[in-house]
Amino acid sequence: MEYNIAVIPGDGIGPEIIREARKVLNAIGKKYGHSFKYTEVLMGGVSIDATGVPLTEEALRTCQRSDSVLLGAVGGDVGKSGWYDIAPNLRPEAGLLALRKGLRLFANIRPAILFDELKSACPLREDIIGDGFDFVVIRELTGGLYFGDRWTKEIDGLRTATDTLVYNEKEIARIARQAFEIARKRRKKVCSVDKANVLDSSRLWRQVTKEVAKDYPDVELTDMLVDNCAMQIVRNPGQFDVILTENMFGDILSDEASMITGSIGMLASASLGETKLGLYEPSHGSAPDIAGRNKANPIATVLSAAMMLRYSFDLDKEADMVESAVKKVLKKGYRTIDIMSGGCTLVGTDEMGDLIAGEV
């Protein structure tokens, strides 16, 4: 099979980590008989330098015509880069928001995986970690408080601010379907997180999610209040498979989950819509302080590419191979500087990519 991938190296360490992800994808293509065709696209600060805007219409169209999009990182040093001395809608990160909107992406998927080899970096006690954990947070990306009407004005002499939390049943149903579909590729368990004891929006969320669940009799659905979920993630993270939740709750819970995995340099993510076209990127930033120094950890980007294989291309076996290759390299004791520990072998960005591709 041939797959067309729009590649956005972006800023900072982006080009370096994208290069290593492509190495691994090419190894997968060679092993399984696939062809990956890459089209590089400018976005972020490099696009501002070249075109004056963080994402051109032409770049967006290229992404829209592709089978999937693989992104490195965007942005720079706020204090040093001239990219932030301009209007907010022209700054590097605005390109990412425009891309998500242009691709109609409404579901953010962020895995939280603790590799056995990185247990010592996890802040949780060993008895809590147990055999480790592997769950994903699926966050609705385009609704809720972040996108509702808002205003600040003076009422009766007092400055008063209002943010509106709005969801309709269609928005809830489509993100719920994403969660159930992803659960079918995993351990077939969905925990829907809300605040139904207080919020009308959460009560609708719970009702619609249960209606969608009827189409997935093979997947177990449970409900949990968000405050309890926040506690359970640090009390017993191994109980979760797929956590489904709305925009603000997902923003908070996914960040909490990232802190118990040992290093943000290991965290992949995906943003999906109603088609197979998705945006795949590491959860970390552009790290301009180490750009070009062969220090960046490419594993999060490699694992994002594995998510692309799984969710956009339905190549589960190939995705499993990439994830297995990462685990084998870590088990052999190879580490980039951010995850380095005693007794391990320090490697650079390019060597880590070579090692993972070699295991494929």
Tell me which of 93 and 166 has the higher pLDDT: 166
Q: What is the DSSP letter of 268?
A: E
Average pLDDT value for the chain:
94
The answer on pLDDT for 341 being more than 70 is yes
At 8 the three-state DSSP class reads: strand
The amino acid present at 48, given as its one-letter code, is I
d(CA 146, CA 101): 14
Mean pLDDT of 180-197: 96
Q: Per-residue confidence at 168, pLDDT binned at 50, 70, 90?
A: very high
Active site residues: 146, 195, 227, 251, 255
Q: What are the structural domains, with CATH classification, of the chain?
A: 1-111+266-360 (3.40.718.10), 123-260 (3.40.718.10)
Per-residue pLDDT tens over the stretch 256-278: 998 898 777 788 999 999 899 99
**Exposed e or buried b per residue across 7-21, where buried means at least 16 C-beta atoms within 10 angstroms of its C-beta:** bbbbbbbbbbbbbbb
Residues 288 and 249: beta-carbon distance below 8 Å:
no
> Which tokens go with 257?
């989950």
The residues pairing with 245 across neighbouring beta strands, listed in sequence order, are 139, 193
d(CA 213, CA 184): 12
> Pick from 27, 94, 103: which is nearest to 54 by CA?
94
Per-residue pLDDT tens over the stretch 8-25: 999 999 999 999 999 999
